[in-house]
Amino acid sequence: EDQVTQSPEALRLQEGESSSLNCSYTVSGLRGLFWYRQDPGKGPEFLFTLYSAGEEKEKERLKATLTKKESFLHITAPKPEDSATYLCAIPRSGSARQLTFGSGTQLTVLP
Amino acid sequence: GAGVSQSPSNKVTEKGKDVELRCDPISGHTALYWYRQSLGQGLEFLIYFQGNSAPDKSGLPSDRFSAERTGGSVSTLTIQRTQQEDSAVYLCASSPHRGGYEQYFGPGTRLTVT
């Protein structure tokens, strides 16, 4: 059965304190891994797609990496505006049109 | 360009009433999805439309839920005889790819059943 597990559930950082969020997955034949950012009261905002182990994508202070079992979202020198819930998702092995989402990591960056 | 839009943004209804939620996808996107996000829960897939193909309804939780998509664009999710457990944020997403790759989400409709 497909599974997506994110850790930690919540993370509090001081401004400038770099860290990483983890997304581990179990699926039969990975067809992409997606990272989203969700602000309170808003829909998820697409950040990255990763397709194969070793792939990396960067956007501002965020860098996503992928291995055969997990993905990391590295946040370098975060700012308070990076505070949000970060979600990862994978297409289901039986139907790529359905995404299985993790429960998210709630990131708070303190000034 | 314009993103996915949803209306209403908030809906409060009494138990037993029917509700309709609307989604306008990004122009040109052929795939449209509905998800439900309950408080403290992850996103739950409900239904998927792709072009003129029959929709994938495998995520609908009961026969009180239905959805249609007219003209390959606007979609309406209907919940009949609402129950308190239907209270959640209903999110719509659209995608330009048949395979369901990157999905772009609307702001959601917060439904509260009293």
The predicted-structure confidence for B13-57, as pLDDT tens digits, reads as follows 999 999 999 999 999 888 999 999 998 778 999 999 988 888 999
Which residue from B minimizes the CA distance to A48? Answer: B102
Does residue A94 register a pLDDT over 80?
A: no
Q: What Cα–Cα distance (Å) separates residue A66 from each residue in A10, A24, A49, A103, A104?
A: 21, 10, 10, 18, 17
User: Which of A18-32, B42-56, B76-90, B95-109 bottoms out in mean pLDDT, i.e. has the lowest?
Assistant: B95-109
The stretch A13-42 carries a mean pLDDT of 94
The reply to whether B45 touches chain A by the CB within 8 Å rule is yes
CA B59, B66, B64, B6 dihedral sign is positive
What was the pLDDT predicted at A28? 86
Find the CB nearest A98 among B41, B59, B91.
B59
Joined together, the tokens standing for residue B4 give: 């996915």
State the pLDDT at residue B2: 84
The alpha carbon of residue B14 is apart from the nearest alpha carbon of chain A, in Å, by 22
Question: C-alpha distances in angstroms, A48 versus A34, A69, B52?
Answer: 6, 17, 29
Cβ proximity of A2 and A98 under 8 Å: no
- pLDDT exceeds cutoff 70 at A101: yes
Between CA A84 and CA B91, with CA A96 as vertex, the angle to 5 degrees is 40
pLDDT in tens, B50-84: 888 889 999 999 999 999 998 878 999 999 999 99
